Structure 1
Amino acid sequence: MDTAKVKEYIADFQKSEFPPLTPRELRINARTTVINTIIGPRRAGKTYYLYQLMQPIPRHEILYLNFEDIRLVSITFKDFLDIVNLHTELTNTKPGYVFLDEPQVVGEWEKGVRTLLDQQKFKIVITGSSSKLLSKELATQLRGRTITHILLPYSFSEFLEASGVHPKQPFSSEEKAKLRNYLERWLGWGGYPEVVKTESVTEKMKILESYRELIVYKDVVERYGIKTPFLAKLLTEHLISNFSKEFSVNAFFNLLKSRNIRVSKKTLYAYLSLIEDSVAIFLVEKYSPKLKEQKLSPKKVYLCDTGLAYRQRHEKPKLMENMVFLQLKRMQNLNPGLEIFYWKNHQHEVDFVLKEGQGIRKIIQVTYADSREDVQKRELASLLAATKELKPRKLEVITWNYEGEEVYKGKGITFTPLWKWLLQTKHQH
């Protein structure tokens, strides 16, 4: 450890001011003795969220370490307690709060956190862009004393806040039209904070292209020492292009084979796991009471933010489905027992099956429908087919603009516009 540089880093932080912040909806208790772990894709705003948590805490009580700062590159896990002592020396106060930003770049960092934990004197918050922070191995090393939360790019309500829009009920027809306009913008360009604050379309595209490169080269190739980066890029681009669709390693293997690209299925499975680990892409399993079928069936691909697929920003049905998934994913912060699946038989498909415990809480169909007449009969037929098998408590269709409730062939169905559903569910995560 370069003691002089670490001291300089601590002193700079103590004197610094927080930048302007857009309040995030994620609610965690930073004062708990349990470690709070926040995972999310790169550039989703995890560092700024830490600032939000720090704001009400006296600065001298905070030790904040951003491990991507060049002054901290020589730190090892053995230095963690020494850094606490440096903080005490500089501020005359032992820190009550330790915030560790992207510590996974430090070898065996878990041991350093375990050392801090054993002191029983610190409230600890960790961020990371790797789903390995969710792993059972980590929970074991930290004696199970960690709660994991996911932070994604801006939700719709956070996007509105960042855009200076504060909707209040009841909504006039003019306000509803305005909200749909903002919804369209959010769907097409996504909610990455840097993209949201950028007005230029050209700049938005440049930023999003750089994020796609980050996923491939920083999160996969560099992190895991991949020797065939072109293959990692091919797979990542394929997943991004085919979001809200089913993905099969076998089908992708055959596609590569048809292009005379030789690779083993084992390698593809390994790369797929690494890309998923970046928290940039999520894979959703097909619901089945048979575990083997559930694991072997193709999975559906969803992106951490639709901005990654900005080239397809006019494909509203796919964008809507992806953003509904992300809102459901956020709900797992407050309800970790919530499981998300899709459902399919030989004729019908339902976008989302929400399972809690042994029962199915709700099934959701997403459709780009502006009126009741626009809701396709096949969408409702799929809901009824799934209902017959799954026996859910509730059925919901999320639409573009149609709202209503009806009994359809003996089953009660709620129709909710996407913008309204997103605002209604913002307090559920």
Structure 2
Amino acid sequence: MLEQGVAEDNIIIVSFDMDDDEETGDLTDRQALKSYLYSRITDDTTPYYIILDEVQEVEGFEKLVNGLNARDNVDVYITGSNSHFLSSDIKTIFRGRGDEVKVWPFSFREFCTDRTEPVSELWKEYYTYGGMPGLLRQRTSEQKVAYLQRLWNKTYLDDVVERHKVKNREALSALADALCSSVGSLTNPNRISNVMRSVQNTKIDSETVSNYIGYLEEAFLFEGAKRYNIKGNKYFESIKKYYSVDVGLRNAKLNFRQQEITHIMENVIYNELRMRGFAVDVGVVEAREMRNGKSEYIQYEIDFIASNGRDKYYIQSAFSLDSEEKRQQELRSLLKVDDSFQKIVITGSDIAAYTDNKGIRFMGLFQFLLSGI
């Protein structure tokens, strides 16, 4: 804003998780905050930008923010911690006057900014520790691991338990483990409940699983991608693939035990598409084929259908295409789709992008993450 010519006095920033300022005193009192902010707004014709960080520390902040937001020359930006302030609250609190800005962890391209190491080394670091901004202050591997595990357990998990009054914290944590272990796998609450009972010896019914997944999605820890029948133009009920919003948090939750690069690569591609504003579904193409002398419906999977209202892409994530059989496996699903939207295979190899004679575009992971489709 300063670079765009906004005067410094017209940018008002208050962080409520900091110690009291000697000049302003305790602004967590709503009346004190109101007096301070209105004293700073000295001209009704000049735009002001108010940034309130961790605003939930101010009891009754909603009324004050709505009052400020009603002024034509004031833009208000607020942040809040997960347990007190979620995206689902915005419509209720701000009566249609607020917009949600979803802030993702660093993308791989952002992560590489001002870094001089080889891209392959940066990728290893990224798929291990992810893109949480606080990692920039952690110097050693031990510090990064401790930071991510502390973030998971003391911030996210505690916030979810507090907000939703979860009585069985251990079951919620076990569910998070199950989701982290199955990124990129089709599942549903009933299946997860059965797995937790048989593998983790945790008894939790499917309705509770569904509620807990909703809590974790609200906290922006996971996103679910619906399964879409491309030729039937309809969604499959209940079954989804879940992806971690940050692969570093996912790895930390599993104590860095299950770092299957194929699943992590798929998760990173999903996140990258979402960061770029695409809606992302999991694709299914049904085709009738002869199997063992019988005509059967076969379902072919497409990892991602990415659309933004104008463009649509069918995308396969393939870490390796080291054999013709594997190559044909990835192509088979795409070739079953008979519309004209672009079809892409993203491979873990650092290849130059090309389009084959069937119209399928092949590109390397780094090119996709650093340059786009």
Query: TM-score if structure 1 supplies the norm length?
Result: 0.70
Q: Contact between 1:61 and 1:95, CA under 8 Å: does it hold in 2?
A: yes
Deviations 1:388-417 (A, max 9, x none): 3xx251011111223343345xx3011111
319-328 or 115-124: bigger deviation: 115-124
Q: CA deviation at 1:365?
A: 0.6
Report the Cα distance in structure 1 between the residues aligned to 2:233 and 2:193, rounded to whole angstroms.
21
Q: Secondary structure at the match of 1:397?
A: strand
Q: CA deviation at 1:240?
A: 1.8
Report the Cα distance in structure 1 between the residues aligned to 2:79 and 2:268, rounded to whole angstroms.
23
Q: CA deviation at 1:139?
A: 3.8
Q: Secondary structure at the match of 1:296?
A: strand
2:63 corresponds to which residue? 111
Which has the larger strand fraction? 2
1:125 aligns with 2:66: no
Which of 138, 161, 165 is the equivalent residue of 1:221?
Answer: 161
Q: Secondary structure at the match of 2:235?
A: helix
Which of 194, 197, 200 is the equivalent residue of 2:140?
Answer: 200
Q: Secondary structure at the match of 2:359?
A: strand
Q: Which amino acid aligns with 1:320?
A: M
Q: Contact between 1:88 and 1:95, CA under 8 Å: does it hold in 2?
A: no
1:270 corresponds to which residue? 211
Q: CA deviation at 1:348?
A: 2.0
Q: CA deviation at 1:181?
A: 2.7
Which of 144, 150, 166 is the equivalent residue of 2:96?
Answer: 144
200-209 or 66-75: bigger deviation: 66-75
Q: Contact between 2:14 and 2:53, CA under 8 Å: does it hold in 1?
A: yes
Q: Which runs of 5+ in 1 are unaligned?
A: 1-29, 31-52, 166-177, 333-337
Rate the CA distance shift 1:363–1:65 in 2: closer, same or farther, 3 A.
same
Aligned length: 349
Report the Cα distance in structure 2 between the residues aligned to 1:312 and 1:416, rounded to whole angstroms.
29
Rate the CA distance shift 1:196–1:414 in 2: closer, same or farther, 3 A.
farther
1:8 corresponds to which residue? none
After superposition, the CA RMSD in angstroms is 3.6
Which of 45, 54, 69 is the equivalent residue of 2:18?
Answer: 69
Percent of counterpart pairs with the same letter? Answer: 26
241-250 or 369-378: bigger deviation: 369-378
Q: Contact between 2:228 and 2:236, CA under 8 Å: does it hold in 1?
A: no
1:423 aligns with 2:370: yes
In the TM superposition, 1:152-171 aligns within 5 A as: 152-164=104-116
Q: Contact between 1:60 and 1:95, CA under 8 Å: does it hold in 2?
A: no
1:254 corresponds to which residue? 194
Tell which has more relative contact order, 1 or 2 (C-alpha 8 A, sep 6+).
1
124-133 or 263-272: bigger deviation: 124-133
Q: CA deviation at 1:214?
A: 3.4
Q: Contact between 1:405 and 1:412, CA under 8 Å: does it hold in 2?
A: no
Q: Which runs of 5+ in 2 are unaligned?
A: 286-297
1:284 aligns with 2:232: no
1:60 corresponds to which residue? 9
Rate the CA distance shift 1:252–1:147 in 2: closer, same or farther, 3 A.
same
1:317 corresponds to which residue? 262
Q: Which amino acid aligns with 1:101?
A: D
1:187 aligns with 2:138: no
Rate the CA distance shift 1:368–1:76 in 2: closer, same or farther, 3 A.
same
Report the Cα distance in structure 1 between the residues aligned to 2:352 and 2:126, rounded to whole angstroms.
21
